[in-house]
Amino acid sequence: MSNRETISMACKSAFPSTLPILAGFTFLGIAYGIFMNALGFEPIYAILMSLIIFAGSMEFVAANLLMVAFNPLNALFLTLMLNARHVFYGLSMLETYKGTGKKKIYLIFGLCDESFAINSSANIPSHVDRGWFMFFVTLLNHSYWVIGATIGSLFGSMLTINTEGLEFVMTALFLVIFLDQWTKEKKPFSSLTGLCVSFVALLLFGAERFIIPAMILILFVLTIKRKPQEKSTEW
C-alpha cells in the first residue's frame, strides 16, 4: 500500500468518529465568531485565534482579556486554571502517541477534550495506520472549530442562530464513549474508579472545582493499581 493510500484510508476511517464534533464545534465556533464580532474585532482575529490558540473556553476569555489592560501574569494563570486538565491528558497519551513521528508535534498541539476522548478509546482497524488516524481526528476537530469561528466572524452580524442547549452535544458524546469503554472492559475498574472518584470530588469541591482534584485522584488510584500488575508481569 502506497503512502498516499495509507493517508487516505486513515482520513476516511477517522472522519465518522468526528461527526458528533462536527455538529458541536461548528456551531460553538460560530458562537465564538459572533462573540468576537460583537466585541468589535475584525474577522482575522477570530480566525487566527481559533487556528493558533485552539483552546475552547479560553478563547472566549482571551477575547475579554484583549479588551482590558495588558496583564500577562493574569492571562497565564487564567490559562493554567482553565486548561490544567490537559496535563493529565498529556500524561495518559504518552504511550498512545509513541511511534507517531513528526505527527506527534501536531497531536500535542491539537489535543483537546474531544480529540483525547476519541483517540484514547478508538477501536482503530488493523489495516489503518494508527498515527495517521489520530492525526486526522485531531486535524478534523481543529478544522471544525476554525470553520465555525470563520463563519461566525464573517457573517456574525447577519446570523440569528439559537444555539441554546447545543453544548449538550459534547456531553452526549462523552457519555457514549464512556458506555462504549464500559462494554469493552472485562473488569470495569477504570470506569468505576472514574465515576466514584468524580462523584466524591463533586461533593467535596463543588461543580466548578471538582475536575482537577478528580483527575489527580483518578491518576493516583490507577497508578497504584498498575504497579502490582507490572510486577506480576515481570515475574
Domain boundary among 122, 153, 173: 173
- Give the whole-angstrom CA distance, residue 119 versus residue 39: 35
Domain boundary among 129, 145, 173: 173
In a domain, 178, yes or no: no
- Give the whole-angstrom CA distance, residue 160 versus residue 193: 43
Residues 61 and 164 in one domain: yes
Looking up cell 504497579, which residue turns up?
227
Alpha carbon of 131 to those of 4, 12, 141, 231: distances in Å? 14, 14, 16, 30
Looking up cell 489495516, which residue turns up?
127
Question: At a CB cut-off of 8 Å and minimum separation 6, what does 154 contact?
Answer: 33, 43
Helix axes 85-92, 113-121, angle to 10 degrees: 20
Residues 169 and 200 in one domain: no
Residues 60 and 157 in one domain: yes
Q: Which tens digits make up the pLDDT trace of 131-179?
A: 999 999 999 999 999 999 999 999 876 766 565 665 565 566 567 667 7
Alpha carbon of 198 to those of 131, 207, 211: distances in Å? 31, 10, 7
Residue 228 lies in domain: 185-235
What's the pTM? 0.73
Q: How many domains does the chain have?
A: 2
- Give the whole-angstrom CA distance, residue 187 versus residue 217: 20
Residue 111 pLDDT:
92
Spell out the per-residue pLDDT of the chain, length 235, in tens: 688 899 999 999 999 999 989 988 888 888 889 888 888 899 999 999 999 988 877 888 888 888 888 888 878 877 877 777 788 888 889 889 999 999 999 999 999 988 998 998 888 988 999 999 999 999 999 999 999 999 999 987 676 656 566 556 556 656 766 776 677 677 778 778 888 988 998 999 888 778 778 878 887 887 787 655 545 444 4
Q: Which tens digits make up the pLDDT trace of 44-63?
A: 999 999 999 888 778 888 88
Read off the C-alpha cell for 111: 489535543
In a domain, 179, yes or no: no
Residues 146 and 191 in one domain: no
Residues 69 and 118 in one domain: yes
Strands (E), the chain: none
Looking up cell 457519555, which residue turns up?
175
Burial of residue 26 (CB within 10 Å: 0-12, 13-18, 19+) is buried
Residue 138 pLDDT:
96
In a domain, 190, yes or no: yes
Residues 120 and 219 in one domain: no
